[in-house]
Structures are given as structure tokens and as C-alpha cells.
Amino acid sequence: MGTDLAYNFVFKVVLIGESGVGKSNLLSRFTKNEFNHDSRTTIGVEFSTRSIQVDSITIKAQIWDTAGLERYRAITSAYYRGAVGALLVYDITKHLTYENVERWLKELYDHADPHIVVMLVGNKSDLGNVRTVPTEEAKVFAESKGLLFMETSTLESTNVESAFLEVLTEIHKKVASKEVTRGSISAVTLGQALGPSREFNEERRSCCKSS
Amino acid sequence: MFDASVWRIRSIRDSVRLEICDEPSPAVLNRFTHLDPDTPHLENASQEIGEEVEDGAVFSISLRKVQMYQSSSKSQRWMGVDSDSGLSLYETCKLRTIKAGTLERLVEYMVTAFRGNDSTYVTIFLCTYRTFATTKQVLDLLLNRYAKLQPGSEVRRMTPDERTELRNTVSSILGAWLDQYSEDFWKPPDYSCLRRLIHYLQLSFPGSDLERRACNLLSQFHRRLQQESDRDVLDQCCAFALLQENGFHEERPDFLNFDPTVVAEQFTLMDAELFKRVVPYHCLGSIWSQRDKKGKEHLAPTIRATVSQFNCVTNCVISTCLSDRTLKPAHRARILEHWIQVARECRILKNFSSLRAILSALQCNPVHRLKKTWDEVSRENIRIFQELSEIFSDENNHSLSRELLIKEGTSKFATLEINPKRAQRRQQPQRDLTVMQGTIPYLGTFLTDLVMMDTAMKDYLDGGLINFEKRRKEFEVIAQIKLLQLACNNYNFKRVAGFSVWLSGVEKLSEAESYSQSCEIEPLSESASNTLRAKKSSGIMKRWSE
């Protein structure tokens, strides 16, 4: 298709975390403008992308959420492929969702680019419940793992924008400073057709050239 | 009745332009109306000009251009020929549709909408009301208040014409409900709603066809309850792979012995049966996203069945591709190529579900990493594989697969751009292109859309009114599903018993098993990152294997 050439980069960012922590809500809040734009004709068509400006550069954020697809076996396997950012979401009112953060982190690093930018996001999606995960504790944990950290509320839309922007800015910094490998940069600028040849290149890269 | 209404004209811009514009709108994604050639392209000629707020309800006021003379016949529109030589006269109508309201007002509006111009309202209401009310609530409101036909103060005030009209309206609404959503009344053991309805019909419509249908339904339910104690209604896993296992050691037919056309047809037969059984409103975000909640494990069984079939096809591909680790790469490549041919046949049959399942399986890591095998796959097959994969490109939120679905949804046959020459060269007899073919969508796209729509739009407006506008939007997706379900009746394949037996015998591989099997076929290199990969966390597998 490629009609929309008004951007310099496409960054794929995945949303991960236990079900019910408000991932789809975060996504919907962040892409809201485009979701509601011309709602008569484009039902749900642009809920997964949003373009933002960072230092006069336009970044198209392509945000992946497995909403409704968790049971399709092979579909989810493509989820991490090519992702350069991740929001690892837990619910600050449900401690169990925080306890599982480490498992998600491991899964992410097992499948994704080692340079992936990860933010730990403590979300509050429910009005009634009380906090069970102290901010300090999560913050310290995030620092020890080298993750960005933020608390959001999808109820009041607090920090949703900042969380995504910080992740996208950080990815841009990495790309701009060439900190990432060449291969990863080509993964950042998506747009090539999927197919074995390209995937094999990626695989070869991870076998032979990875740090 | 609406004397107390307050007009709040927000803007009347464009209302003039409206009357002269006559361009058929360009294909718009996700508009179900475009699937229906009988619907003239007037959809976009409807313009909201204001809102009317009443006690307990908000109405949208719009202008719609209505063509008075239809110059072209149906068949001409089918062909895309719109000879507009004759005079077309347009009239602009004021349209008043409910946007939000209390449950009382929404139910009441069913009766008024029927007479007015909001004819689809009843359909949308019946399809989506479960998200904001119970069957009992709606039935009680309808029968006790708005459909009162028994002599009473209100009815007495009506003229005979009004009374007849109300009778017809009520009969149509209840008829549609019984026809399309009889499941709503499945409340064993006492079936209180159905009994309530029968009681009403006996009083108000004695001896009617409607009464007979309601009574039939009750006896049907009684029979069903009896049968259900004996067996399960829906087989959760691989609905068609029910045949008994004959022990592993018996000679199994080789996958390569099945013609790709036969495999694709058999998958299509299974997919079509399951897709036709899908209860469309179960796809609504508010219902489907509840599936993992405690106590909701049996929610939306018809959708789960299509997902199971999808996973069954995926497993079948992975399993056959990884079978027998002693196979030479060249031989294994034949299996891959065979699957690519099956995928291609699925594309011709417009079976996007199995097509996606096969492609996803070929792209999944255990199969995808078999470099030596892929090197032996012919260029032509690689090209077909890549072209087919592009259909499901995530670019622009899967716009390509969406467009294809709209374009081919109810059309006669697939508009194949992939190498038509090759199709002609093939030995097998050409498909009869005059015979209408069905279309099976990959349901996942609809499920995601509906989950996202449910997330993005409020159920209730600030004043506590039910946001019916949300339900209208959701219904546009549901309507697409319904249309495709109808189109599915056009498939006409016979079961091949040998294939079902073979399919049921395919080894079930978990995510971890297929990965380790793949590593036995082509060992990992010694790099650190790959050792990490070998020890995949169990987390992701747990969720993948149902």
C-alpha cells in the first residue's frame, strides 16, 4: 500500500502483560484521535497506529495488542517479530499481575530483539480497587532491570500519552545514536514484504552477529 | 408525543450540497452496505444536522437524500452499470434516529422505529441488547407497556387503523425475535420468558402463526433438554476429527498423496460448517473478551470452535512439515510446497481462515527456521507463498485483507491476481466460474475490531443513558459476519472420509515439542542467543496450547 509516506520511521511496539490489566484501554486511549476520526466511514480501521513528532521527525507508532486473538495459536508467534519497543503492563490494584512481570520479561527477551526498549507500566484500570503494588517497589525493580517506568491510569487518561511518548523517544534515541545493530535498524523501518528470505536474514543475524 | 422535544441544531452546513451530490462513494472499508449490490450508494448522503434531547433519550437528526426514480435495474447495478441517462429525482428526508436512551425508551423506540424511517433499529436492537439488558427485562417492558393490545385505556384511545398498525408492528418484532434469536428463550428448566410470551400471544394473537411458532419452540426445547443430557452439543476440539483411532502402527496415507485441491476443499467444508454456526453477537467485544474470566469458560462455544479448527489446521501443517526427522531437505521441501499449493487453493476458494492458518504455520519459528528445507523450495512456490502472505500484511491495519473481503465477500469468485496463466495451465478441470462461491473470513480480524470498539466507546453516556450509537457501530461489523455466513451456503463439497481419518491421526505437537523437533532436523548453531531460544519459557506455551 505505502501511500502514507509522511513519516520517517515506523516503530513496532508491543503491549504485554496479564489479561485484564487494561492493555487494550491504553492502546485505545493513545490512538483515540485516529480511532474516532471520521467514525462514519472507518470503523476501527486505524486503532493500531498513531504518528507523533520527535525532534522534527515523524514517527509512526505501530502498536500491537493481541486483543481477542489470544487463542489463535500461530498468530501470536509473529507478535514479537520486529518489535523495537514494549510496554509491560501490570495493574497496581492486582498484585498477581505484578508478580508475573518477571515471567513476561523473560518471554520478551527470549523472543524479541535484545535492544528492545521496555517500559514497565503500572496501570490502574479499575475505579474501586485499592493499590496493592507500591510505586517505590516497582520503580526500584524497573531500575534494577534497566527498564523505563511509569504509572498510568486509563480511567483518567493520566500519563498514557507520556508513557508511549517516552518509549518512542527512547527508541528514536537508540536508532539515531546507531546504538542498535544495522540489522535492527532495518527492522525498525518496516515496510518490506514478509517472507522467508527476509526472515532468514534476521535469523542469521541473531545466530552470527548478535552481541 | 415529542412535543417536549428541544431542537438543538448544531450545524446545517453541507445540507445544500447534499441535494446535488450524486457520486457513488469510493469503496469504504468495513461498510457492510457495500457488500450488498441492492443497496444504492446513498449511505454517505446522510448528514447529521443536529440532536434532539428528550427525557430519557437523545435522538440524532439527519438529512438523507432519497432517490425517487430508480433508473437502473438490479441486474445492471450488479454489473456495475449505472445508466443514469434517465431523470433521477431526489428528495431530502429528515431522519430521526435514537442515539442513546434509557432501557424503557430504547424498547419503546422499537415500536416507533418500525413505522418511521429507522427500519434497521429493531434488527440492531435484537442483535445487541444483551450487552445492556436481559431477555426478561426487554420482554417485560415490551409486553407490559408498549405492546399492550388488550383492551385498556391506552388501546381504547387508538383509532382502528392505529390498532392494526400496532398489531402488525408487535407481530413483526416478536416474529423476528423468535426467528433469529430463539436461543434467548433457552432458559431451562422453566423457560419463564418463553412461557410469558406464549401467554401474551394466546391473549393478543390467538390462533396466529406466531403463537404456533412459540409453542413449537417450547416443545423443541423440551426435546433438546432430553437429548442434551446424553451428549455434548458442540465438540470443542476439531469438530470433524471424531473418528476412532486405529492404533499408530497402521499404514497411514501420506500427506503428499492428497491432491491440494481436495485438502483445501475439505478444510473449506469444515470451516464453512463452523463459520455458519457462529452466533454473530457472541463476537461482540463485551462478550468475547470475557472468555477467560472465571465461570465463563463455556462462553461463545461457536467462536471457540472456529478457533479450535484454525489451530487444528495450524498443527496439521506444523506436524507434517516436521515429521520424520530423517527426511532429506529436498523431500521435506515437497511437503512445504504441497502446503503452499493447498494455501493457494484455499485462496481460490476464498477460504481466508484456513489460508491464514496455513501461512501462519509456515511462518512460525519451528518451520520457518528450517533453512536447508526452504532452500529446496522452488522459486515459483516461494513467490506464491510471499504473494499469499502479503494478503495478511499488517500494513494499515490489515487493509489489504479487509479490502479483499469486501471486494470478494459475496462475489462469485476470487479475483486472483496471482499468476492466472498458471491456473489455466493446470490439468485439473477448471472450476465452474458461473457457480457462486462462498467466502470464509478469518474471524480474528472481526474479533479484534469488536474488542477495540468495545474498549474505545462508552457503554453509557454521562447521564447514564445507554449509548446505542455504539451498538449501531458494532452492528456494522456483525452485519458483515452475517452476510458472509449467508454466502457460505454457496459452498457445495462432499466429505472425503479418508481425509478426515488422516487429519484426526495427525500428531498433536505443543509449541515446545515442535521447536525441539525442528532443532533435531536442523541443529542450532552454537550462538548464545539461540541457546536461549531453545529454552523457551513455558509461559507463552501455556497460553498457546489450549
Q: For B501-525, how does the pLDDT look when each residue is reduced to its tens digit (9 = 90+)?
A: 999 999 999 888 998 999 999 998 7
User: Is it the case that residue B194 has pLDDT exceeding 50?
Assistant: yes
Distances (CA, A) of A156 to A18, A160, A161, B310: 21, 9, 12, 38
H or E element that contains A90: strand A85-91
B-contacting residues of A 47-66, CB under 8 Å? 47-49, 62, 65
Out of B369, B477, B535, the one facing A203 most closely (by C-beta) is: B369
Strands B46-54 and A49-54, bridge-based pairing: unpaired
Is residue B19 very low, low, confident or very high in pLDDT (cuts 50, 70, 90)?
Answer: very low
Q: What value does the mean pLDDT take over residues B264-281?
A: 96
Whether B527 sits inside 8 A of A44 (CB atoms) is: no
> To 10 degrees, the CA torsion angle through B271, B275, B278, B280?
150
Give the tens place of pLDDT for each residue, A75-110: 766 788 889 999 999 999 999 999 999 989 988 887
Q: What domains can you pick out in chain B, each with its CATH number?
A: 102-152+159-230 (1.20.870.10), 256-417+434-525 (1.10.840.10)
Angle CA B484–B216–B232, to nearest 5: 60
Cα–Cα distance for residue pair B182/B424, rounded to 1 Å? 47
Whether B546 sits inside 8 A of A203 (CB atoms) is: no
Strands A117-124 and A148-153, bridge-based pairing: parallel
User: For cell 388488550, what's the residue?
Assistant: B150
Please report the pLDDT score of residue B294 as a whole number: 77
Fold classification of A9-177 (topology level) = Rossmann fold (3.40.50)
Q: Where are the domains positioned within chain A?
A: 9-177
Cα–Cα distance for residue pair A2/A5, rounded to 1 Å? 7
Cα–Cα distance for residue pair A211/A201, rounded to 1 Å? 16
Please report the pLDDT score of residue B43 as a whole number: 44
Nearest chain A residue to B288 by CA: give it.
A68
Out of A133-147, B421-435, B462-476, the most confident range is A133-147
Is residue A7 very low, low, confident or very high in pLDDT (cuts 50, 70, 90)?
Answer: confident
Please report the pLDDT score of residue B396 as a whole number: 64
Give the tens place of pLDDT for each residue, B286-301: 888 888 777 887 889 9
CB-based contact (8 Å) between A33 and chain B?
no
> Are the C-beta atoms of residues B27 and B406 closer than 8 Å to each other?
yes
**Entry pTM:** 0.77
> Are the C-beta atoms of residues B188 and B225 closer than 8 Å to each other?
yes
User: What proportions of chain B, in percent to the nearest 5, are helix, strand and coil?
Assistant: 55, 10, 35
Q: Is the peptide bond before B429 cis (omega within 30 degrees of 0)?
A: no
Nearest to B315 by CA among B502, B498, B444, B507: B507
CB-based contact (8 Å) between B294 and chain A?
no
Count of other CB atoms within 10 angstroms of residue B141 = 19
A-contacting residues of B 320-379, CB under 8 Å? 356-357, 360-361, 363-365, 368-369, 371, 374
Look over chain B and give the mean of its residue pLDDT values, rounded to a whole number.
78
- Chain B nearest-CA distance from A96, in A, is 15
